[in-house]
Structure 1
Amino acid sequence: MKLNQFSRITIPRQQQRQELETIRFISDKTMKLPPTALWVDLLGRAFPEARTPAMKQQLIAGLLATPEESVLEYITHADVTPTSFYLVALQLLGFEPGTDFDATKPLIEMKALGLPVHEKLQNTADLLECWYDLLVTQTPTGQPFIDVLATRGYFTPFYTLPATQKPVVFDGKSMPVFDPAKMIREVVYVEAPLDTDHDGQRDLLRVEIIRPAETAAGLQVPVVYTASPYNEGTNDQLGKRLTHNVDVPLKRRTPDHAPQPHAHPENTPLPAPRSVHATTKTAAASFTGEFAYTLNEYLLTRGFAVVYAAGIGTRDSAGLRTCGSAAETLAATSVIEWLGGKRTAFTDHAATTAIQAWWSNGNVAMTGKSYLGTLATACATTGVPNLKTIISEAAISNWYDYYRDGGLVIAPDGFPGEDADVLAAECFSRTKQAADFHRINPQFEEALQNISREMDREGGTYNAFWDARNYLNNLRNVTADIVMVHGLNDWNVKLRNVFNLWHGLKELPVKQKLILHQGQHIYINNFQSLDFSAMMNLWLTHKLYDVNNGAETALPTVLVQDNTQEETWHAVSDWDGTDCNKTTYFPTPDHTLATTPAAGQLSYTDHLTTTAFARYRTNIPGWMTDLLTDKQTAMTPNRLVFKTQPLDHDIFLEGQPQVTLPLATSLDHGLVSVMLVDYGEARRLNTIPTVLKRRGIEHGFHLREEDLVEFKLAKKKTPFKMITKGHRNLQNRTNLWQTDELVAGTTYPVTFALQPMFYRLKAGHQLGLVVYATDMGMTIRGNEQVTYTLDLTGAQLTVQSRPAI
């Protein structure tokens, strides 16, 4: 087991003592005890579930202070030492003697686990420093020990503290001193400056609020806000009916020299805001459940109000879904403006009685994954006041890079045939209220048809529809600091989205952090090897409570999980930075990747037998295996494979690989797909986390439990792994919006970048370049009779790498 703790900060001894007093581990009375007696007293406080002194003694007696003696036996003849302290500490943290560590050498075992050790323990001051560091040390659940104690009820006596004494900060982080059983739940309706359903009234948005009871006593708290179009339900069956057929041929487009497209500004007159006839501090409705992100729940008991809003076109809200448009962004920012006191909300649809967010301190953060993180990113690019930071996980920064690539229609991984219109329909949860849907259905159908037409599924080029959904156009407006989290194996929201956002923010005066993990499209706040929740607590306590805790320097700028070792994370300064080396490889007639140019021609087809096509369209993993394997398969004629010589040392491949491929096609239209592949027998890290313990992690006292998970090495070796890939329509050689001529049999050089990567390629492995056409999992699948010819003269692959970390 290897633990990685990045939420630790340096606290001076005097401040440590003050904080230990604040959270009641020491007092004036206990500070008069000799060190060993104080140690035993501290141990007793580490069992908050014990309700009597006798029970505390019983639990302390279960701890070994030496391999042969319990703590109570040991203290009859010896004083606390580093060896006895850390043997007990390992047990308190949750490690088992004989299973997780050797009880005869606790200091060595602490260091092997990557846990902090003080080898000097001579007086009370030393003991308190050791104890403070123990409380903030990571446990086998990935949580700091103080958070584990919180799940066992340590902070329940703090629930009765006056509101004026909250929040309570320890180790730079807000502690869970707010009673989850007494949270106030309420619903308000924020009026947005929109009329997307064209009913002559501004759209009202349902907003669900969970806030600490102390806010009723005057405490103002910051807000963690998640904009989730899924929160009010989804139309899965409607989405299935609307899903597009992908088994169609690629269409030739008439060549043009279209200028770069720009979004059309919205100029529909906006209805006047509603009149306010009365004001109140009391909401008219509550709610019982929500699709909660467990990070939000963790933060809720630490003094952050949590707000959920599904946005326009969702159940109990007005408007229509528009899939990533400026209107969806404006709806989401309207909630932020209300939280900052700059917009009106009402208690109900009658919209006569206004209600303010009088309990908010005006500081807002946004959280969430996928569409949720996408809306957080969109809001940040407006520069909306009061939005101090976002934690965007697996977020889209440009919807073109989600549903399109290189002039081609591209599906998110696992969702062939989905597109912007399908997602808009799936999220239009106003269908859940029959009378409301009956009234609004004609407008919904018309809006859906407009989306279907404007997104141009037949073309795939970049147009005004996609430009309106490109948040990168507005990066100059960003004032919120940003934490980005993304999976290096996420082929749903592909890595270009986070890569372009990361680099686009570099010239702005905002703080940005990046965490790249080895998963797919997932959350990571329940992983064993990373203290993610504590890291975000440190960040948000600073950003929203203005605590000067050093979060901006303590958290790594870029944190990357290794793809070859379990539980291994690397802190680096940049992604695709100036310290990378460029290497250019050239495909050769003998299918190698050489460092000198070659000449010649090689051909491949893009047609399968009816049987093979039917098999692969329902078995994408099988298609991938047959595409990449050295064995003869139905895919062998449909691809070209080039490999380097085996590497003599490890390297980290980084950033966006670029290819130039001079290609000719036997038709007047065509596409090219490219994969970069790691060839070499190895046990590889799984991209789906392994469950270490069912319901093994709790996010607070009597709060939700989650499975404790970790990425583990596969049990069996595999001969290859795809690193990254990319696609291009051969009629989009110049750019994404111009349609180029394509004459059958004529060779055209095509240059494009693949999706970004960060990948350790091991010594002895080969870097492979695979060139093919139809991608069964992502592109349309015409299965046409077509032959492609690659002219090796001018063909090349350029990659960036850094020496292995």
Structure 2
Amino acid sequence: MPRLLLVALLAVPAAPAPAHAAPGASSTPAYMRGGETVPVYDYADAVRESVWVQTTGDADEDGEPDRVAVDLVRPRTEPGVRVPVIMDASPYYACCGRGNESELKEYDANGVISKAPLFYDNYFVPRGYAFAAVDLSGTNRSTGCEDVGGPHEVAGARAVVDWLNGRAPAFTADGSPAVATWTTGRVGMIGKSWDGSVANGVAATGVEGLETIVPIAAISSWYDYTRANGALRSTNYPSFLQSAVSGRVASCTAVTRSLATDSAEETGDYNAFWRDRDYRPAASRVRASVFVVHGVNDLNVTTPQFARWWDELARRGVPRKIWLHQAGHVDPFDLRRGAWVDALHRWFDRWLQGLENGVEREPRATVETAPGVFTDARDWPLPAARPVSAPLGAGVVSYTDESLPEDLAVAHPGAMVPGRVAVRYGPLTAPLRLSGSPSVRLRVRVDRPTTQLTARLVDYGTAPRIQYAWGEGVRTLETESCWGESTAADDACYLDVAQEVSTTDHAVLTRGWQDAAHHVTLRRTTPLRPDRWYTITVPIGAYDATVAAGHTLAVVLTQSDPGYTAAANTGATVEVDLARSTLILPVAGAVTLAPSAAAPHTAHGLTAPARPQRRLP
């Protein structure tokens, strides 16, 4: 799980000179004025075209190299002026749509892109950028196979960067060669969820020409997306994802078989299949700057995805920035629209146009500290944050697996609820700022070879809070706002969105899960013996929040968690030596935490609710 890493402000490379014109042309393109790009090109007159970039693979084993479809919208510039590219590589352009309004690609009668989802083309093309909407391998108009975060998917998207830099061939629909003479070769990848995940993967290849990525609610390890430290989050998930986005499953026998059999669902082990889909170990190859955006209450792509990736990038001094908000799986365009468009504009101007706008010298982190309240910080986790250890108490308590639904598991922390142990700290005499990745280290004895260990941090106290659970914490309004220029086929206007806020008496801050038999390593199981005590750490998802003075913080321990994982109820009874167990919190500021009470119970007999629904990343 993510480690609490305190990082000083790191030096970043000097901005590249804005060299976009051919010899003899003006050194400053018309779209650059006053240190920023401005809209000078007619969006309605933009060049719209499609090319198919050839990759080095043949995932569908048809004897031909796979080709990735790229739909381009680019300004009709003056002779000699070249432009950088904003690229969104996605599996969703035909099946599921992009953005809050689930927009799909649309084509004219000649098969040329007439509508690209999202506002990127509407806003940035008039400002001297091209936009590339890329169908991931095996989706929409691309050939090959969708291998769910794997080598074929990443290689296909990387090939587009190579083509834009003259290193890979591409063809038009009639088979004619296509050469990208109109671009500087500087590429920025952006996208939410799966789209942002492939941006992480391509950056981890170190491909030259990829200057920046903006991963929003993105995956950095597909193992951690489908597993929770050895525990299944959902069964048969890779195969489900492939079938949801690809119409070429029947042509991809080998890949489809691998997704079903090589993912080690029967053990939950981390193996070669998952190493191929883990981008973090290759963080040392990243050349691109990185602008991370994530919701601290994202229950789909959970917070270790950004936190571990962020830590790895920090170790290597990668130029980076982070926005954290309190909603769930949400794009910042649907949360803080004006500020987001401005921040993204300045970020792309800096890293793709080479404009010295000082963005890299600004505070590295922006964090939503209360609903609608965003504050800047020098870094994240907060530089003042330190790990604080809090004992769980004294004596030995036990609890038997009851497959508790979350609302019952966290209700009434002082009550005796079968199947849980709740340890309380407080009421707090001063505000407690958490910033980073908590964990709980348990000294346990288990009467089964394994069980799932679940831990939650809960804030008990009345406060206004964003209602993120499964509704993501936002609602769509009837008004709309426009961001860029429009055509009859592709308008730049989107329904406005507001946060869902209500006052509640408690909230789960963050959660963590650990399969007990994977406590030694995720690469294999180590079954527990009922006569032995073990020290097992349950990592808890990264978080940033302030628990108010007068509130009570609690750690709630349960076992199987039917609302969030697919782990079976083993019927195990877990004994916890409280005196030798510790809650470790990343705390900014001086604080002393002592447990005020523990409420264990060993009775059982509750009925488990239905398993969680599968979700697309």
TM class by shorter chain equals 0.7 to 0.9
Structure 1 distance, partners of 2:208, 2:110, is 28
RMSD: 2.6
1:459-478 to structure 2, matched below 5 A, reads: 459-478=267-286
- Select 2:333's aligned residue among 525, 528, 538: 525
> Does the CA contact (< 8 Å) of 2:119 and 2:484 recur in 1?
no
**1:656 matched to which residue of 2?**
437
> Does the CA contact (< 8 Å) of 1:697 and 1:707 recur in 2?
yes
**1:437 matched to which residue of 2?**
none
Structure 2 distance, partners of 1:785, 1:510, is 46
**1:601 matched to which residue of 2?**
396
**2:305 matched to which residue of 1?**
497
1:309-348 to structure 2, matched below 5 A, reads: 309-348=134-173
- Select 2:220's aligned residue among 373, 397, 406: 397
Distance 1:793 1:683, change over 3 A: same
* Count of aligned pairs: 549
Structure 2 distance, partners of 1:579, 1:709, is 34
**1:557 matched to which residue of 2?**
364
- Select 2:411's aligned residue among 629, 640, 644: 629
**2:346 matched to which residue of 1?**
538
Distance 1:376 1:296, change over 3 A: farther
Deviation at 1:323, TM superposition (A): 0.8
Q: What do the CA deviations read for 1:742-762 (whole angstroms, capped 9, x no partner)?
A: 123533221232111111111
- Select 1:421's aligned residue among 236, 239, 248: 239
Deviation at 1:782, TM superposition (A): 2.8
- Select 2:47's aligned residue among 184, 189, 199: 184
Select between 309-318 and 765-774 the one with higher mean Cα deviation: 309-318
Structure 2 distance, partners of 1:601, 1:315, is 57
Structure 2 distance, partners of 1:195, 1:401, is 28
Quick check: 1:699 aligned with 2:483? yes
Structure 1 distance, partners of 2:571, 2:353, is 63
Q: What do the CA deviations read for 1:424-474 (whole angstroms, capped 9, x no partner)?
A: 22221347xxxxxxxxx2x42442122111001121121111111110111
Distance 1:528 1:793, change over 3 A: closer
**1:513 matched to which residue of 2?**
321
Distance 1:550 1:785, change over 3 A: closer
Structure 2 distance, partners of 1:463, 1:388, is 31
Q: Which 5+ residue runs of structure 1 have no aligned equivalent? A: 1-161, 236-283, 412-416, 432-440, 589-597, 609-615, 617-622
Partner amino acid for 1:786? A
> Does the CA contact (< 8 Å) of 2:215 and 2:293 recur in 1?
yes
**1:380 matched to which residue of 2?**
203
Deviation at 1:517, TM superposition (A): 1.0
Structure 2 distance, partners of 1:418, 1:177, is 50
Distance 1:730 1:771, change over 3 A: same
Structure 1 distance, partners of 2:434, 2:133, is 39
Deviation at 1:310, TM superposition (A): 1.2
**2:565 matched to which residue of 1?**
779
Quick check: 1:223 aligned with 2:7? no
> Does the CA contact (< 8 Å) of 1:681 and 1:719 recur in 2?
yes
What SS does structure 2 have at the residue aligned with 1:731?
A: helix
Q: What do the CA deviations read for 1:265-298 (whole angstroms, capped 9, x no partner)?
A: xxxxxxxxxxxxxxxxxxx964244551224432
Q: What do the CA deviations read for 1:493-536 (whole angstroms, capped 9, x no partner)?
A: 11111111111112334310011111111111244576111111
> Does the CA contact (< 8 Å) of 2:451 and 2:570 recur in 1?
no
Deviation at 1:395, TM superposition (A): 1.0
Higher helix share: 1
1:738-777 to structure 2, matched below 5 A, reads: 738-744=524-530, 746-777=532-563
Deviation at 1:767, TM superposition (A): 1.0
Higher strand share: 2
Deviation at 1:785, TM superposition (A): 3.2
Structure 1 distance, partners of 2:417, 2:560, is 13
| TM-score for both structures, normalised by structure 2 | 0.84
**1:308 matched to which residue of 2?**
133
Q: Which has the higher contact order (CA 8 A, sep 6+)?
A: 2
Distance 1:172 1:429, change over 3 A: farther
Distance 1:708 1:773, change over 3 A: same
Structure 1 distance, partners of 2:284, 2:572, is 45
1:448-459 to structure 2, matched below 5 A, reads: 448-459=256-267
Structure 2 distance, partners of 1:186, 1:430, is 24
**2:10 matched to which residue of 1?**
none
> Does the CA contact (< 8 Å) of 1:295 and 1:525 recur in 2?
no
Deviation at 1:578, TM superposition (A): 4.9
1:349-368 to structure 2, matched below 5 A, reads: 351=175, 353-368=176-191
Task: Say which one has the larger Rg.
Answer: 1
Partner amino acid for 2:561? D
Q: What do the CA deviations read for 1:34-60 (whole angstroms, capped 9, x no partner)?
A: xxxxxxxxxxxxxxxxxxxxxxxxxxx
> Does the CA contact (< 8 Å) of 1:587 and 1:795 recur in 2?
yes
Distance 1:516 1:530, change over 3 A: farther
Q: What do the CA deviations read for 1:652-711 (whole angstroms, capped 9, x no partner)?
A: 111111211122233232121100111112222333455585343210243421233343
- Select 1:667's aligned residue among 448, 451, 455: 448
> Does the CA contact (< 8 Å) of 2:219 and 2:225 recur in 1?
yes
Structure 1 distance, partners of 2:258, 2:337, is 47
Partner amino acid for 1:346? F
**2:458 matched to which residue of 1?**
677
**1:263 matched to which residue of 2?**
none
Deviation at 1:544, TM superposition (A): 1.5
Structure 2 distance, partners of 1:529, 1:302, is 19
Structure 2 distance, partners of 1:311, 1:682, is 43
Question: Identity of counterpart residues, as a percentage?
Answer: 28
Deviation at 1:771, TM superposition (A): 0.3
Distance 1:528 1:192, change over 3 A: closer
Distance 1:731 1:784, change over 3 A: closer
- Select 1:172's aligned residue among 28, 32, 35: 35
**1:484 matched to which residue of 2?**
292
Structure 2 distance, partners of 1:601, 1:471, is 41
**1:568 matched to which residue of 2?**
373
Partner amino acid for 1:524? P
Deviation at 1:724, TM superposition (A): 0.9
**1:213 matched to which residue of 2?**
76
Structure 1 distance, partners of 2:157, 2:459, is 42
Structure 1 distance, partners of 2:580, 2:520, is 17
Structure 1 distance, partners of 2:42, 2:236, is 43
What SS does structure 2 have at the residue aligned with 1:214?
A: coil
What SS does structure 1 have at the residue aligned with 2:585?
A: strand
Structure 2 distance, partners of 1:339, 1:649, is 55
Structure 2 distance, partners of 1:576, 1:559, is 11
> Does the CA contact (< 8 Å) of 1:185 and 1:286 recur in 2?
no
Quick check: 1:293 aligned with 2:118? yes
Distance 1:785 1:382, change over 3 A: closer
**2:59 matched to which residue of 1?**
196
What SS does structure 1 have at the residue aligned with 2:314?
A: coil
Deviation at 1:170, TM superposition (A): 4.5
Distance 1:685 1:342, change over 3 A: same
> Does the CA contact (< 8 Å) of 2:185 and 2:209 recur in 1?
yes
> Does the CA contact (< 8 Å) of 1:607 and 1:786 recur in 2?
no
Partner amino acid for 1:381? A
Partner amino acid for 1:646? P
Deviation at 1:409, TM superposition (A): 1.0
Distance 1:732 1:527, change over 3 A: closer
